[in-house]
Structures are given as C-alpha cells and as structure tokens.
Homo-oligomer: A and B are copies of this chain.
Amino acid sequence: MNSDSQPREELTAQEAKFSEAYAAHQAAGLNLDLTRGKPSIAQLDLASGLDGILDRNFELPDGTDVRGYGGLEGIPEARALGAELLRVRPQEVLAGGNSSLTFMYLYLMHAVFYGVTGDRRPWSETSGGPVFLCPVPGYDRHFAICEDLGIEMLNVPMTGNGPDMDVVEGIIEDDPRIKGMWCVPRYSNPSGESYDDTTVERIATMLDRTAPDFRLMWDDAYAVHAIAGAPAPLKDLMQLCRGKGGEHKVIQFASTSKITFAGGGIAFLAASEENLASFKRRLSVLTIGPDKVNQLRHVKFLNNIDGIKAHMRGHAKILRPKFECVESRLRENLGNRGMGTWTTPEGGYFVSFYTLPGLAKEVVRLAGDAGVKLTPAGAAFPYGEDPEDSHIRLAPSYPELEDVDKAMQVFVTCVALASVRQRLEAPT
C-alpha cells in the first residue's frame, strides 16, 4: 500500500477493485471452514489399520487381559511408548484415555483445589489468587482451563523462538502469585514456532528460582508433527532439570490425537515419580483405569518412536501442499504490501496471520460473510482478548486442498479490503 504516501484516488480505486473481488466471492456461496486444527479424512485413513489390529488377542506379555479392570497408570507398553515420545523414563509416564486435555485439566484441578507435591497448600488459597504466564498467541483450550479454574492469566509475547524470556524472568521475580506457565515447545499452537536451545535453557534455569509449587505445563502436542524438512530439534528440558529440583516442576503432555484418530487416540502425562504419586492419588478416585484395549491397539500399530516417525511422514505428505497453498496465496497477494505478516511453520497445524492493528475482527467478519469460517479473532489470547486485534489463526489441515485454496483467495481479499478501508478512513 505504501501507506502514508499513497494518493487518495489510488486508495479509492483499490477499494473498488477489492470490493468487487469480495462481492464475487460472496456471490459464489462458499461454505468453507478453517477454524480448527483437525486432521483430514485422508490423515485419519492412515491409521484405519488400528481397528481390528488386535485380532482378538487381548493379553499382554505380563499376563494382563487388557479387557479387564485396572491399570491406573496405563499398560507398560503404552507407558514405554510415551516415554520414548517425551524422552523420559517409562515410570515417569501415565498413559491415559483419548485426551491430553483431560490430563491437563485434572492436573491443574488437583493443584488448584488440593495443592501439589512440594507444597500442599491449594493454589486457590494463594493470596490474590493464582496466576499463570501465557505465551501469546497460544492455545485457546489451555486458556479456557485457567479461566474455568480461576487462574488469572498474564500475556507473555512470543519471539519466534519461544516466549520472551526477558519478560518471563522479570515477572517471575516480581510476583509470588505466579504458579505456572503454558508452553507448546514445538510447532507452537498457533504461531508454529519451536523453542530454541537458549530459550529452553533459560526456562530450566528460571525454574530453580520459582517456588516449590510452580508447575510448567509443557504440552509437546506437536513433537513429531513436522510438515517440511526434518523434525524440529528440541533441547530436553527434563534432562536439563534433573537433580536440581526443577524436574518436579515440569509436567509434560502428548497424545496420539494428531497421529492416529483425533477422537480415539491415547494420551500421555509425564512427570517426576513424586509428582505422579501425588496425582495418582487423585486420579484413582475418579477412574479405575484407562481403556487398555485401545492402548494395546496403539502399541501394536505404532510399535515405537521410529514407527511413529515413519507414520508421521504420511501425515506430512498430506499436509504439506495445504500449507504451501496458504503460504503461496499469502505471498502472491499480500507480500510486501504492508497489509500484514504471517508465519511459515515447518510443522504443527496452524499459520498465524497478523493484520494491521485493529483489523483482525473485521477480517474474520468479512470472511465469514463470504462463507469462509475462521477462528474468532482473539481466540488465541487469554479471555479472548487480543490487545492489538491483529492475530488470526489459520487452520488449513481439514479441508481438501482445493477448498483451502478457495478459502485463502477469499481471505487475502478480505485482508486487502479491510486494510485499504482502514487507510481510507484514517484522518488525513
């Protein structure tokens, strides 16, 4: 747009052109959805072999019949798989049902209402209320858990290599109410960035300075979810913390939701054995054990970390063209125009787009009115409030490639139209 220097007539002409393009999109009667990070049918098909894989053999090597009751921690073979995925010891892993989100909620609920190992005072009794650091943009369901449990959230900016540790260290120093922090260290939801070595090292060092009941919620949801190139390396935080007390402050999560079946996978929680002992006391009240039959299906289907990695190459192959399509539509139409910036992730499920300040809601509205549903603006921020009204999360995994392409054509038109209109409305 070349902003300030652009003559008004030129802006008016652009507005007319984009309006016309937008009207054409509206007339097309589209019904497309880029809202959530869901695997497509083709991706789900990669794991169809899960169903029936047991061939009615339900016995583990140790004699356990997986159809029966019991086994609060999950079957040993599933715990071992989770341990490989999260790079910890099998005895530090709980293998659960279909959702790491449930593990996260239950872990924080136990902390809020009952306290954690190291400090048995419930977080809810924190003077002034408990607080969590939330790197933004982040995962809306993380923030919903905090909101539900009465944990106040403080935004921390992301740098492209993880959270801004200058900010984190400063806040931690200042505020004893801070009980924890959310992290998605690889292909972060929704920016797609991965934490670099320095960031992870600074997190490990920081943990030494936190209170004994501080908990880092390390959601490695996209550990093996490379789309392009080699998987992102990630410094092993737990390894850095071991023997220094920090190992009791790291709670790690992963699941197979975006590896096998989104709604029928298995989840993992990894933490120090002391942490697990405390959490298991609570867990044993609400369940006799997870669905071990489905855990055994997963073990038979995935085998080990190498099996997972091989399987994930199939996902990458399906996802790559969709992400390339998003990138190329953005670059072609919005590159170097001063109408916004975006991330080009090498893994995960999302692209983050940043409009000019104050336009995210308007772009989402325009797209919606033209039949392209986007995640509500602000959703990636605590309380749904993006202070800049600038961030939009694009999730191209679920629709067919041609629909991603159509949706992106609408999207870039909406961004251009909103940007030009903003310029026109600005006081001269």
Contacts and interface: CB of A to CB of B under 8 A. Distances in A.
Contact of A291 (B36, B67, B98): B98
A271 to B, nearest CB: 18
Interface stretch (A152-160, A162-170, A281-289, A417-425): A281-289
Interface in A266-294: 282, 285-294
Contacts of A52: 51-52, 54-56
Interface in A44-61: 44, 47-48, 51-52, 54-56, 58
A71 B293 contact: no
A239 interface: no
B144 A285 contact: yes
Contact of A68 (B55, B69, B144, B262): B262
A141 B55 CA distance: 33
A99 interface: yes
Per DSSP, chain A at the interface is: loop
Size range of the chain A interface in the assembly? 35 or more
A24 interface: no
Given A51-B293, A55-B52, A264-B294, A288 B66 contact: no
A51 B48 contact: no
A39 interface: yes
Interface string A16-48: 000000000000000000001011010010011
Interface string A248-276: 00000000010001111000000000000
Interface string A122-164: 0000000000000000000100110010000000000000000
B51 A264 contact: no
A202 B64 CA distance: 45
A287 B261 CA distance: 15
A90 interface: no
A263 B148 contact: no
A102 interface: yes
A291 B97 contact: yes
Given A98-B97, A105-B286, A286-B145, A262 B54 contact: no
Nearest to A36: B69
Interface in A93-139: 97-99, 101-102, 105-106, 109, 113
Nearest to A49: B56
A263 B292 contact: yes
Interface in A289-337: 289-294
A70 interface: yes
A65 interface: yes
A293 B263 CA distance: 8
A263 B289 contact: yes
Contacts of A261: 67-68, 293
Nearest to A266: B291
A71 B262 CA distance: 12
B56 A285 contact: no
Interface of A: 36, 38-39, 41, 44, 47-48, 51-52, 54-56, 58, 65-71, 97-99, 101-102, 105-106, 109, 113, 141, 144-145, 148, 257, 261-264, 282, 285-294
Given A102-B286, A105-B286, A264-B292, 8 more contacts: A51-B55, A51-B293, A52-B55, A98-B287, A98-B291, A105-B285, A141-B285, A148-B282
15 contacts: A44-B58, A44-B65, A48-B58, A52-B52, A52-B56, A66-B263, A66-B264, A67-B262, A105-B285, A141-B285, A141-B288, A148-B282, A263-B291, A264-B293, A291-B291
Q: Closest 6 CB pairs between A and B?
A: A52-B52, A105-B286, A264-B293, A67-B261, A44-B67, A69-B262
